[in-house]
Amino acid sequence: MSDYIRKAFSGYASYSARGQFAFMLHRIAGLATLAFLTLHIATTATVFFMPQWYDKLVELFRNPVIMAAEILIAYFVVYHGVNGLRIAYLDLFRPDLWTKQASRKATPAVFMIAFILWLPALAIMGYQLLKYGFGLFGGG
């Protein structure tokens, strides 16, 4: 089993440490986003199937644990998007750039861009977490 886990998270080509981390994070982020998306579709669909549940579900999700998890999901979505754009561009248009040297340069840039793009989400959702999750700034 541990061999399977190693295989699933180590990538198909032989990566340097950074490339392997980029690959792992891409998978973890993608799977976490799919889990969120599945829940999100099912709960949003209650507006048609079980409309009396929807506002209760929104209320249920307005707690600190879920709100903190959503901030993490926001990072996963941003990272998966930035890194995915790099993968799509290289696979579709520049497969010749799939080299260790190029990846070694590109992956730190991807981490930085994703982190910077995530900061506004961290600020706004962090504020919402403090206000509505913990009742600070006059929230409840």
Partner 1 sequence: MTTMTDDTNRTAGYDAIAWKWMRYSAILLIPLVWVHAIIQALITGGHNLSLDYVSMRWATWGWRIYDMFLLAFAFSHGVNGLRQVLFDYLKGARARKLLNWLMLLFWLLLTAIGAIAIIGGVRPPA
Decide whether 51 or 138 has the Cβ nearer to partner 1. 51
What minimum distance in Å lies between the beta carbon of 82 and partner 1?
9
**Rule CB under 8 A: which of 2-21 touch partner 1?**
4, 7-8, 11-13, 15, 19
In Å, what is the CA distance from 76 to each residue of 37, 44, 59, 95? 12, 21, 24, 25
Q: Which helix (H) or strand (E) holds 14?
A: none
Using CB under 8 A as the binding rule, whether residue 64 contacts partner 1 is answered as no
Using CB under 8 A as the binding rule, whether residue 60 contacts partner 1 is answered as no
Q: Using CA atoms, how far apart are residues 115 and 60, in angstroms rounded to an integer? A: 29
Q: Tell me which of 2, 17, 65, 92 binds partner 1, using CB under 8 A.
A: 92
Q: Tell me which of 16, 55, 112, 137 binds partner 1, using CB under 8 A.
A: 55
DSSP calls for 69-121: HHHHHHHHHHHHHHHHHHHHHHHHT-GGG-SHHHHHHHHHHHHHHHHHHHHHH
Q: Using CA atoms, how far apart are residues 68 and 54, in angstroms rounded to an integer? A: 21
Angle between helices 17-44 and 2-10 (to 10 degrees): 100
Decide whether 48 or 101 has the Cβ nearer to partner 1. 48
Using CB under 8 A as the binding rule, whether residue 42 contacts partner 1 is answered as yes
Using CB under 8 A as the binding rule, whether residue 91 contacts partner 1 is answered as yes
What minimum distance in Å lies between the beta carbon of 94 and partner 1?
11
Using CB under 8 A as the binding rule, whether residue 114 contacts partner 1 is answered as no
